[in-house]
Amino acid sequence: MMMYSLLRSIERLTISPSKRARDFQRVIQSYKNGELIEVEGFLILRVPPNVPKDGVYYLLSPLSPSELSKSDIKPYVAIKVTEKSEINAELKSGQYVKIKGIIDAYPFGNMRLIHVISLQRANIEDYWLQYKELALTKEELEQLIDSTINADYELKKALLYSLFASPSVVSSKRHWGEGVTFSAFKNDTKIVNSLWEASRYLISLLPEELILRKGNAKPFVDDNLDLDFSFFLEGGKYYSPSNKSLLKKDIPVAEWAREYFEEKQAVFLTPKVYKRISPEDPLAYTSETPFIVNEPIGWEKNRELEQLIPNLLATIFLEREKIPSLSPSDRMVEKFRERFERWIFRNAREYGEKFDALRLKGMIFETNTRYLLSLRLLGSMARFEGKINTGIISDVINMNQEIVDMWINEIPEREMLKVLETYEKYVERDFRNKRLEMALRVFLDLEATSIDGFVSREEFYNALVEYGFKPSYAREVIESLIADGYLYEPVIGKLKMIKPE
């Protein structure tokens, strides 16, 4: 019934280029000459027809470069820039700007003119938020993805969450952008190709200005106004490998895109064919959701989704606007950290040294990195759901558990033995007993999930008790670690590990 209602309302919901053009034209025509006006649009650095000789004239399009050619009408506005105009933007075709000025008539057809008072760069996301009232509901969006992608539930949801990107983490030492890395691994070309083709289809539906690509110029010709120029596209937020050969690289992205990948400046949908799965895989190490897939996924073209892409983008950018960042001091983030730490302890007990070894620096489950990636996944889910709640926290933990189980079961024995050998060399054996060693490992996990690098005495004590230490012995262990020089107390009640030089 939900999908039936959605399909019946497709025509009403669709934010088509022609709708945008007509709505803009109605607004422009509603202003009288001499009135103050503020509008947003895309600069076109071409002289309009019949241009007067008393200033510098350009054009403004209400439609994005990808939509301009799709509209049956093209309601350009002429703009006049003088030495008194305040300019705070790079003047190039394709730049999304906000203009404030005085509206006037222009001597060509029914075109209007704006005498520019100020011209400043605007956020291109605002373009997709102009129709935020037509954003899709969570249920509608799920229905559209369900009818497009046929895959394992967790995999499909992770793909959907990735589209919403990730809020930044306040005070994090990792200055990552809002990007997300969705990856999947298998030593089977057919399986990996199926995921690549599905992700390529989703990316192909997005407007060109939102796709991360090397070539950033789009030619455009308007025969009616005798215009011939190139839009410069920038600000791409989504990426999928451009060809199958990239899927066999350690990092399956083009070389020019590596810096965007490393700094998480875009959403990367990047499956990978591996020769031998490695716990030090650089793609898995920085992926929020590094799945190991065991069967091909299916997908099919979806006419409704294709029509509603502008609505999908309005939904995504609206939710990104609501949750721009995550703060470690937020109550639900603190709750997530507690759950994450319990999850670490539980897996350490269940898998023992295997899990501990996979949490060494550079390994797929390095605690600090995996915590930040999980926190970012939590933020993506929160954007989709509308807020952080205990259900979302449980979903992240469950997804992490599925990934851990997959990797531990899939890593070849030879590779695991190498990791364990490294772990044995790393773990210090000079403690008076194994319990002190275990306590220090608990502290390291707490420190790894702490954004500021400090661990309070109280949370260390509570973690030791939860891990199985008797309360009286837990306090004794804390004092011993301080007395022996493994921990120190730079601030009253706050502990930090003393790192060897």
pLDDT per position as a tens digit, 161-219? 999 999 998 877 788 999 999 999 999 999 999 999 999 999 999 998 899 988 777 78
**What pLDDT is recorded for position 138?**
92
Place of tokens 């057919």: 190
Integer Cα distance of 458 and 495 in angstroms? 10
Q: Which helix (H) or strand (E) holds 168?
A: strand 168-169
CA dihedral sign, ordered 45, 47, 49, 52: positive
Q: What separation, in Å, do the N-terminal and C-terminal C-alpha atoms of the chain show? A: 65
Integer Cα distance of 273 and 191 in angstroms? 9
**What pLDDT is recorded for position 428?**
54
**What pLDDT is recorded for position 432?**
46
Residue pair 344/410 in contact by the 8 Å Cβ criterion: no
pLDDT per position as a tens digit, 386-419? 999 999 999 999 999 999 999 999 999 999 999 8
Q: Which of 91, 92, 72 is nearest to 25 (CA)?
A: 72
Q: Among the residues of 101-163, which ranges form H helices?
A: 125-128, 138-146, 153-162
Mean pLDDT throughout 432-457? Answer: 82
- Structural domains present in the chain: 17-122 (2.40.50.140), 132-410 (3.40.50), 428-497 (1.10.10)
Q: Which of 27, 15, 63 is nearest to 42 (CA)?
A: 63
* Local structure of 478: helix, strand or coil: helix
pLDDT per position as a tens digit, 85-107? 999 988 888 889 999 999 999 98
**What is the reported pTM?**
0.85
Kindly tell me if the per-residue pLDDT of 9 is higher than 70: no
CB neighbours of residue 255 within 10 Å:
10
pLDDT band per the 50, 70, 90 thresholds, residue 421:
confident
Q: Which of 61, 54, 64 is nearest to 24 (CA)?
A: 61
